[in-house]
Amino acid sequence: MRLSAIATFLTLAAFIVFSTAASADAQTLTEISDSFERLVQKVNPSVVQIFSTGYGFTGGSTTSSLLGKQRATGSGVIVHPDGYIVTNAHVVEGATKVQVLLSTSEERRGRSILKPKGKRIGAQVIGIDRETDLAVLRIPVKNLPYLKLADSDNLRQGQIVLAFGAPLGLENSVSMGVVSAVTRQLKPEDPMIYIQTDATINPGNSGGPLVDTDGNVVGINTMILSHAGGSEGIGFAAPSNIVRNVVDQFRLTGRVRRGGIGVFAQTITPTMAASLSLPRDWGVVIGDVYPGSPAEKAGLEVGDIIVSLDNKVMENGRQFNVNLYRRTVGEKVPVEIQRGTQTRTIRVSVVERGDDPARFASMVRPDKNLIPQLGVLCLNLDRRIQAMLPPMRKEGGVVVAARAADAPHSDDGLMPGDVIHELNGKTVKNLQGLKSELGKLGAAEPVTFQVERNGRLRFIAFQLD
């Protein structure tokens, strides 16, 4: 065979191989594209747009600017066929009217690609949990398409995820990215953690689902970090395991209770390990066991090393608090400890955190409980509220349930959980009485409150704005 013929043959063979490979690659890309298309079609019918109207803080310090009419839009996801929807608390907080726009699920093959608008339905706010920025709504519709909540503990950095919602009001939008981090903590010592993603999230995506490639919800899109106000590839979602806990508690009891076992867990440092002769220089050690707590009753002691919680190895104090954070009150959790050379597992009951400052926040409404001069929302101290507090030093009063982020005197003023007993030496019996006394005072007048905070009485004094 001549060399030219051989060269022609080899060139033709190479072309055939290249064409076959290119064809295979194109087929693979088409299959990937088709898979994502099917995934989106599966998820979309369960994603909703939310419209809320109500009252909210406007950022001022005067009576007229603290409370004003506000409208907000966001996203949500149906998580139960009986009409239960999860969204962000900040989407519906202070709302007097909430509507849900359902996505149309009508099959439209061979027709216009423009889908008709879905149906708007009035929604009831079942509960708001400000600590996780989650809210649960319900609409009077049965047999709805819904998405399952995945186990977010199985999520891994680098996994592909899709964010659904209505960014900037553009309903039925989807973006794709990866999991940038699985346990991002935004505040020191805060047990609330977030999934970080680079999937594009913008205002309006709040409350929408972050889903995995199986179409299950791994998180609820909550916030972004941005210098310009738009997406810069740093978005955060509340993990689905925390979402599940909030949803289940609201559905079953109507409120969220935070649990604890009554210990102060600290991260072991090399210095601590060396000076205390601990058997390891990493992990978690019990710094305190609170008197009368489930931990004390179960036999936990100061100095015990926490090896694992519910069979998960504990590497630092933050991890221990995060894992305990989503435990339901009434559960018993297995705590494996090392004491000296002995290792044992102790089952400890989870009880409601008595010092949770946000435990009353879901019980108030701005139009009923707001005290605008102070930028706080208060509740009457009735039997139900008193049962949620430690033994009182004085009888009667008003409980501070929540405060505006920009409330005056944020450093030395009234805090959630405070019980107001007196105003300028006069006994405060109820919310109406407190409002009445404040109404007699003008701007810049001095006020002194006697409050009970964590079992201690104190005076708080400042000038009204």
Rounded distance between C-alpha atoms, residue 333 and residue 300, angstroms: 13
Could you say which of 52, 103, 129, 133 is catalytic?
A: 133
Is 90 tagged catalytic? yes
Phi, psi of 232 (to 5 degrees): -125, 20
Q: Which of 326, 304, 112 is nearest to 238 (CA)?
A: 326
Could you say which of 173, 206, 231, 362 is catalytic?
A: 206
Distances from the Cα of 81 to the Cαs of 51, 142, 148, 164, 395, in angstroms?
21, 6, 10, 19, 46
Is 465 tagged catalytic? no
Pure H helices in 58-108: 63-66, 89-92
Rounded distance between C-alpha atoms, residue 398 and residue 385, angstroms: 10
SS3 414: coil
Q: Which of 273, 415, 408, 407 is nearest to 357 (CA)?
A: 415
Length of the chain: 465
Rounded distance between C-alpha atoms, residue 166 and residue 263, angstroms: 43
DSSP codes of every residue in 321-377: HHHHHTPPTT-EEEEEEEETTEEEEEEEE-EE-TT-TTTTGGG--HHHHEETTTTEE
- Written as six digits, the tokens of 131 are 């600590």
- Written as six digits, the tokens of 341 are 């050379």
Could you say which of 75, 90, 129, 231 is catalytic?
A: 90
> Is residue 135 within 8 Å of residue 127, measured between CB atoms?
yes
Q: Which of 277, 262, 464 is nearest to 372 (CA)?
A: 464
Rounded distance between C-alpha atoms, residue 204 and residue 88, angstroms: 11
Is 65 tagged catalytic? no
Catalytic site positions: 90, 133, 206
